[in-house]
Amino acid sequence: MVFRKQVNMIKRVLILTLLFYLPLTIFTQNKAVDSLETLLLNHTDTDTNRVNILNKAAYKLFSSDLNKTLLYASEADSLSDILNYKKGKAESIRMLGIYYDEISDYTKAMEYYQEALKRFTEIGDKTGMANSFNNIGIMYRVMGDNPRSMEYFQKAFKLYEETNDKNGMANSNNNIGIIFHDQGDLVKALEYYQNSFRISEELGDISGISNSYINIGIIYQEQKDYLQAIECFQKSLKIAEEIGDKTNIILICINAGLLYSKMEIYQKATEYFQRGLKLSVEMGSKSLQGWNNFGLGSISLKQNKIEDAYRYSKIAFDIATEIGEVEIIKVNSEILAKSCAAMGKFQEAYDYQLIFKSMSDSIKNEEITRKTIGLEYEFRYEREKEVAKAEQEKIEAIHKEELKHQKKIRNYFIIGFTLVLVLLALVLFNFIQKRKSNRLLSAQKKEIEEKNEELTQLNEEIRAQNDHLEKIYAEITEQKELIEKSHHQITESINYAKLIQNAVLPNKEIVSLLLPEHFILFKPCEIVSGDFYFITQLKQYTLIAAADCTGHGVPGAFMSMLGIAFLNEIVRHSEIKTSAQVLTELRNKIKQSLQQSGEKGEQRDGMDIAFCAINIDTLEMSFAGAHNPCWIVRVDETKTEKKQLIIIDADKTPVGVSTVEKPFTDYRFQLQKGDTLYLFTDGYHTQFGGEKKEKYQIKRLQTKLLQIQDKRLPVQKEILESEFFAWKGDNVQTDDVLVIGVKLI
């Protein structure tokens, strides 16, 4: 069974700014600008030719000198009014839109682009219309509206094809590729970027080649081919520096900074972001200033420089709020939430977390995630520490009370002895006073002396008891310290065992590559778990298993590691063709390793498991289970409210020795795209809780899963987790919990 590698949809922090319409460029940009400015000096006539030259110069300078772009576009606009030159007027308005776009005043930029489109449409200028569609599409992407952005890019591409404008077609390919990039379709995005690159090479368009290198570099970066990505960025940077394209230099600095940050080469990343920030300030581009400050804040947070992270991200957040760029607001609000939490500013951290969640929801509805700052966990930790302290103080108070009680007893005897002495004095006084009672007084004196002797002996016994109690207290204190030390060592050992157990579980990144739409709800009952999950790829099959070993805690963890090791050995080195054969081989290995023969009174360790193999080409599933079933939820595409729960039952025999050993059944089932597959152990539905302190029950779990089918799987996980803790309440967790959900997309 072999598994096809799938590319996980990775969210990008930043992608190259979308391209505007670029005229055919044979020479370098600097030479072209110098030539246009020379033409302006020589051509002083107030005619349409001067308007055209002004508009071309305004466009050529927007990436290096925005002030001149505004100056030339404004002059072209005024001159077009005087000459009643409609085409020149429309193009000058578009140039003014580009100026406001570059200084991040997106509201004004959109107004100018829409006005330009209206005027080009009135005069039937298809090239001008295509360029305006392109500009408006860029604005919608900045505002986070990718569907409308794609709509306008496709309109532009259609007009460029009609007019055989290859330069425009190159730019449209690039821009459409960026939308696919945003949606996580890296294959499609790379196809469009490479189309753009080929056309730019044919035309000799140096600036277009530079832009394509940046976008292709970002693809390599997300595919973790960092060397290829760096090579693309360096090629683009060399071109941008040669032609004086400050905008592209800044964009390369940002993307290179992000790449070196991923590679944890923070010094190099910082140098790129600082260079980009300096150029952004010189250009007056607030949007690019925001991205560079974000990069510096992100690096500071990774290096645990909390105050620097807060300072850079706050600057970026304020800039983004001013210009209304939602993506910058979103990513910086996340950094601010984390840095504020680390600085103890919990209310401020909470406020920024709310902004981050809100912006995430508004930018991409299907990516709803809830992230908390950890304030509740910190509160729990403090509370547990206070409880432990109170317990310790209580024990010490008990010992102090015992000592106090002993001291009271001793004092009572001292007082008694003193009273006896007083009585003796009175007797003696009476003896002196009443000589006639000498005989009686002698007898009384003898009696008092006897009692005095008894009291002295009793006092010595009390002293001995006190010494004995103090010795016992010292021994108790020593035993308490030994117990605490042993408990600490045992806890450290178990925590280390947890690290080992987590290391043998499937890597999260690999799981995300194999199963783009999935969740794993894994809640061990103790520090280590007797439940485990197994996800891998073998030939054209994806293998998924959810297992519950005998017991939980340390014994269960040993069994789980045996199970993972045996499964890896079976699927890699055995000629296994069905899921039932996998479980049969697993049972044989467990019996052999535990030396189980099935004799009466023998320890019956083993596991319950649900195991399936999905052919990713045909979507046919092979399933076998030991006590653990497989559930499939199928939703009617025409009637989303119609949901069908398909249950594939498991065999009622464990993976291990049993009284009656039965063969495992191999079930074959044809899956469909859109089906949601659930594998789980019994920990979730056997948890005690609710008002009646009863089990959750499997029927209640089925109902809950059907209710949440309209939610994405990460959200389903959050709902199931919240439902579990709400049901459990103050009750103790009775077993390890494992629920796996996979949606076929």
**Residue boundaries of the structural domains of the chain:** 23-122, 285-364, 376-500, 508-743
The two domains 285-364 and 508-743 share their CATH topology (first three levels equal): no
pLDDT of res. 472: 73
Evaluate whether the domain defined by 508-743 bears CATH number 2.60.40.60.
Answer: no
Per residue in 415-450, is it b (16+ CB within 10 Å) or e — as a string? eebeeeeeebeebeeebeeeeeeeeebeebeeebee
Is the per-residue pLDDT at 31 higher than 60? no
Q: Distance between CA 612 and CA 622 in Å, rounded?
A: 5
The percentage of the chain sitting over the pLDDT mark of 70, rounded to a whole number, equals 85
Find out whether 393 and 364 touch, Cβ atoms under 8 Å: no
Is the per-residue pLDDT at 10 higher than 70? no
Residue 77: which residues within 8 A CB-CB, separation 6 or more?
89, 92, 93, 96
Q: Distance between CA 417 and CA 206 in Å, rounded?
A: 111
pLDDT tens profile 358-394: 777 644 443 432 332 233 333 333 444 455 466 657 7
pLDDT of res. 441: 67
Q: Distance between CA 217 and CA 211 in Å, rounded?
A: 10
How many residues does this entry show for the chain? 745
Is the per-residue pLDDT at 665 higher than 90? yes
Bridge partners, residue 669, by sequence: 621
pLDDT tens profile 558-600: 888 889 999 999 988 767 789 999 999 999 998 888 877 666 6
Instruction: Decide: residue 626, CB within 10 A, 0-12 exposed, 13-18 middle, 19+ buried.
Output: buried
Place domain 23-122 in its CATH homologous superfamily.
Answer: Tetratricopeptide repeat domain (1.25.40.10)
Q: Which of the residue ranges 158-162, 220-224, 674-678 has the most confident prediction, judged by mean pLDDT?
A: 674-678
pLDDT of res. 648: 96
Is the per-residue pLDDT at 90 higher than 50? yes
Find out whether 627 and 656 touch, Cβ atoms under 8 Å: no
pLDDT of res. 369: 29
Residue 71: which residues within 8 A CB-CB, separation 6 or more?
58
The percentage of the chain sitting over the pLDDT mark of 90, rounded to a whole number, equals 36
Select from 324, 350, 342, 344 the least CA-distant residue to 333.
350
Helices (H), 434-522: 438-504, 508-514
Select from 704, 649, 637 the least CA-distant residue to 675.
637
Q: What does the DSSP 8-state code read for residue 690? A: T
Q: Distance between CA 189 and CA 354 in Å, rounded?
A: 32
Is the per-residue pLDDT at 744 higher than 90? yes
pLDDT tens profile 677-696: 999 999 999 999 999 999 99
Q: Distance between CA 593 and CA 597 in Å, rounded?
A: 11
- In CATH terms, the fold of domain 285-364 is 1.25.40
Report, as an integer, the average pLDDT of 478-503. 68
Strand 694-695 relative to strand 688-689, pairing: antiparallel
Q: Distance between CA 277 and CA 475 in Å, rounded?
A: 67
Confidence of residue 421 (pLDDT cuts 50, 70, 90): confident
Q: What does the DSSP 8-state code read for residue 295? A: H
Confidence of residue 395 (pLDDT cuts 50, 70, 90): low
Choice among 126-130, 184-188, 737-741 with the minimum mean pLDDT: 184-188
Q: Distance between CA 512 and CA 714 in Å, rounded?
A: 12
Q: Distance between CA 592 and CA 282 in Å, rounded?
A: 73
Q: Which of the residue ranges 2-16, 184-198, 512-526, 634-648 has the most confident prediction, judged by mean pLDDT?
A: 512-526
Per residue in 58-80, is it b (16+ CB within 10 Å) or e — as a string? bbbbbbbbbebbbbbbbbbbebb
Number of H helices, E strands in the chain: 24, 13
> Which runs of E-coded beta strand occur in 502-656?
518-523, 531-538, 541-549, 606-615, 620-626, 630-635, 643-648, 655-656
Of the two residues 239 and 495, the one the predictor is more confident about is 239
Q: Distance between CA 363 and CA 286 in Å, rounded?
A: 20
Q: Distance between CA 521 and CA 396 in Å, rounded?
A: 42
CA atoms within a 13 Å half-sphere pointing along the CA-CB vector of 486: 6
pLDDT of res. 365: 43
Of the two residues 423 and 300, the one the predictor is more confident about is 300
Bridge partners, residue 330, by sequence: none
- CA 479 from centroid of its chain's CA atoms: 44
The dihedral of CA 321, 280, 193, 225: what is its sign? negative
Q: Distance between CA 281 and CA 275 in Å, rounded?
A: 10
Of the two residues 575 and 723, the one the predictor is more confident about is 723
Helices (H), 505-621: 508-514, 553-573, 579-593
Two structure tokens written together for 274: 């600082």
Report, as an integer, the average pLDDT of 163-168. 89
Q: Which helix (H) or strand (E) holds 57?
A: helix 48-60
pLDDT of res. 2: 25
